[in-house]
Amino acid sequence: MSEVYKLIIIGSGPAGFTAGIYSGRAELKPLLFAGEKQGGQLINTAMVENWPGAEKGIMGPELMMQMRKQAEKFGAEVIDKKVSKVDFSKRPFKIWVGGEEFQAEAVIIATGAENRMLGVPGEKKLLGKGVAVCAVCDAPFYKNKKVLVIGGGDSAVEDALVLTKYADKVIMLVRKDVLRASKIMAEKVKNNPKIEILWNSELKEIVGENRVEKVRMVNNKTNEEKELAVDGVFLAIGHKPSTEIFKGQLELDEKGYVKTSENTTMTSVEGIFAGGDVVDFKYKQAVTAAGMGCMAALDAEKWLEKNYV
Ligand code: NDP
C-alpha cells in the first residue's frame, strides 16, 4: 500500500504554490504536482506590474520561481509531472501520474485555465508554424516581420506590445469596436505607432503550406472580406478551465469550471478543494488566484483537523 499524503495539490500557478506555502507552513507536508511546465499562465507573461509589493514590476517566470522556492522552503514536495487520472469516489482519494498511483486524505485542485483556440481552418495545421499562443515565448522569431494578434483583452494588448519590440508591424484584430482590456493598457496600444487596430474584424482562415502566409478576414459590420499577408498569428482570445480529468468526478459548471460551495473552496466532494482560475471565470488575476489558493489551504487544513485527528 502506498503512502497516504495528508494533502495533494494539483497545479503550479499562483493558486497551487500559495496553497503549497500555506499548507507547508501548517506542516501538512503537501505533495504538489506541477505539471510538465510549472508556473501556470504567468510563466508566459513578461512584466507583471500589478503584483502587490513588486513596486517596480516583476517578470512572470521570476515570480513563479520565487513562489515555488517559497513553497519548497516550507516543506512542499514538488513533482514536475502531470496528473493523468483521479478517483474521488472514496477516501483516501486516488491520483495517477501515468501508471503511478498516489493517495491523499485531501486534495486541492489548482489546475488553472488554458488558451482558447479559434477553430478556423489552418489554425491547427499551422500551430507552431506561425500560429502562436505565447507572444513572450515566440516574439523574438518575428524580428522585422508583420504579425496579427487576435483579441481585445489584456492578453491581446500585452502580446501586441511585446511583439512591437521585434516586429515591424503589429495588427490587432478585434471583433467589437472597443477593447475589453484595462484602460491603461488600451491607451498604450492606441498610442503605439507600430500597432494598427482593425475593429469589427474576425478571422476566417489562416493560409499557408508550411508557414503562415496570409489570413482571410471579414468585417462583421459590412460583411466585407479581405486577405492580408502576415508572417504570424498570435491568438489571445481568453482561456478555458483545465478540468478534463475531473469530468464525472466533481460538479463542473456549463463552461467546465469547478463548482465550489458558497463561502468556501470545498467542491461537490467533501475533502476536495479548488481555487484559482479553474474556479474563477470572473477576476482571473494572479493575485486573486493566490488568494484562493490560500483559502483552499486554510479550508483543507480545518477539514483535515476535523476529519483526521
Ligand atoms: P479576456 O476574456 O479578457 O479577453 C478575450 C478577448 O478575446 C476579448 O477581446 C474577446 O472579445 C476576444 N475573443 C474571444 N473569443 C473570440 C473569438 N472567437 N474571436 C475573436 N475574438 C475573441 O481574456 P484575456 O486572456 O485577455 O484576459 C483574461 C484575464 O486575465 C482578464 O481578467 C485580464 O484582465 C487578465 N490579464 C491581466 C494581465 C496583466 O495584468 N498583466 C495580462 C493578461 C491578462 P470580446 O471582448 O468581444 O468578448
First-to-final CA distance of the chain: 21
**Which protein residue's CA is at the shortest distance from atom 25 of ligand 1?**
238
Ligand 1 centroid from CA 196, angstroms: 18
Per-residue pLDDT tens digits for 43-66: 877 778 889 999 999 999 999 999
- Model confidence at 1, pLDDT cuts 50, 70, 90, reads low
| Pair 295, 15: CB distance under 8 Å | no
For residue 137, what pLDDT is reported? 76
For residue 264, report the phi and psi dihedrals to the nearest 5 degrees: -145, 170
Is the shortest distance between the CB of 259 and ligand 1 below 6 Å? no
- The single residue of 80, 137, 177, 253 carrying the catalytic annotation is 137
Can you tell me whether residue 248 is helix, strand or coil? coil
Catalytic (active site) residue 134: yes
CA-176 nearest atom, ligand 1: 47
Domains recognised in the chain with CATH numbers = 4-114+239-307 (3.50.50.60), 117-235 (3.50.50.60)
Burial of 27 (0-12, 13-18, 19+ CB in 10 A): exposed
pTM: 0.77
| Pair 170, 195: CB distance under 8 Å | yes
CA-156 nearest atom, ligand 1: 26
> What does R_g of the chain's alpha carbons equal in angstroms?
21
Residue 245 has pLDDT above 70, yes or no: yes
